[in-house]
Amino acid sequence: MFDALVSEWTVRGGEKARYGFSVVWPPVVGESVRVKRIPLANGEFVFVCRAFRFKPRQFGDIGMAAPLQAKLMGREIRDGIGLFLGRPGAGKTTTASSFIQERARVLGGVTWTIESPIEMSLEGRYANGYIHQREVDTPEDMFEAVKDLARATPNVLFVGEVLDDRTAEVVVHASKMGFLVLCTYHGSDLINGIERFARAAGRGQPSAQFVDSFRFAIHLDLRLGNTGGDPRSISDELIGSMKTGNPPRVLSSRSLFCMADADPVRSHLRRGEFTQLGTEIDRQKNELLRMQSEKSFARQR
């Protein structure tokens, strides 16, 4: 396999393959593997290979709190930009993939994804909706693919991971074209992720186009199950009920929605007052927790 990877690296060219590349191994009949070439101190190198065996989950099975799921599936979220934020391995792609599947199934329309690499197979028809996937190798390819597919006017465009400022800028530009644009992005917390993306898209300043297009952001994290596996009111997150992994972990999330043009969230974003978003985040969280509590009480009656 090593010789085959060296050959593939050479054919692709070191500059284009520096972010990694995908191969099928064994050839033709194998599974998709993402490969990263890493140089060593002694002048040699190794290839680190990552196989993607994850199967997309149903949206109702990922462990997200039911009121938050319902809000995401609202028909008023039909354009603008939505962010799935979190650290590496926090469940951003899993959550986003489950969401776009459910959206295609329930609301229909055409969804295009641009990913580097494709981590879950979503290609196909979902009731009245369709999902098509495209894989790219570099941020430069991602930038060009977003511009290209934006002209196809899909109902939803999902960008697997925004890695650089130029891609953030073109993603925000696409979100002004009348369809919903979703993307994953690294962020240590909800406010940090929103601010970093807004400034990445605005070349250091909060992007005015991002402010106008912003619809929602969700920060995701996987917590050890013994920190709170059941839905309950806690200080800052909504904790899901499904435990996953070993040791068991649960999905926790913080969210911020902004639907109306006159929403105070948009005013804070426009003035660069990101720290002021905390009050509205807490207000929305309390509303979701109230809905969750009422639903739980109704089931017990």
Q: How far apart (Å, rounded) are the C-alpha atoms in residues 34 and 107?
A: 32
Per residue in 231-256, pLDDT (tens digit) is 443 344 555 555 555 556 678 899 99
- In the chain, what are the domain boundaries? 2-51, 59-297
Mean predicted lDDT score pLDDT of the chain: 86
Q: How far apart (Å, rounded) are the C-alpha atoms in residues 53 and 56?
A: 10
Q: Among residues of the chain, what percentage have pLDDT more than 70?
A: 87
Whether the per-residue pLDDT at 166 is higher than 80: the answer is yes
Whether the per-residue pLDDT at 77 is higher than 60: the answer is yes
Exposed/middle/buried for 176, CB within 10 Å: 0-12, 13-18, 19+?
A: middle
Whether the per-residue pLDDT at 93 is higher than 50: the answer is yes
Per-residue pLDDT, averaged over 137-155, amounts to 90
pLDDT band at 226 (very low <50, low <70, confident <90, very high): low
Q: How far apart (Å, rounded) are the C-alpha atoms in residues 123 and 101?
A: 10
Per-residue pLDDT, averaged over 98-127, amounts to 94
- State whether residue 246 is helix, strand or coil: coil
pLDDT band at 114 (very low <50, low <70, confident <90, very high): very high
The answer to whether residues 168 and 197 touch, using CB atoms and an 8 Å cutoff, is yes
State the CATH architecture for 59-297: 3-Layer(aba) Sandwich (3.40)
| Nearest residue to 197 via CA among 223, 172, 180, 218 | 172
Per residue in 31-72, pLDDT (tens digit) is 778 888 899 999 999 998 877 767 788 998 888 889 999 999
Q: How far apart (Å, rounded) are the C-alpha atoms in residues 277 and 300?
A: 35
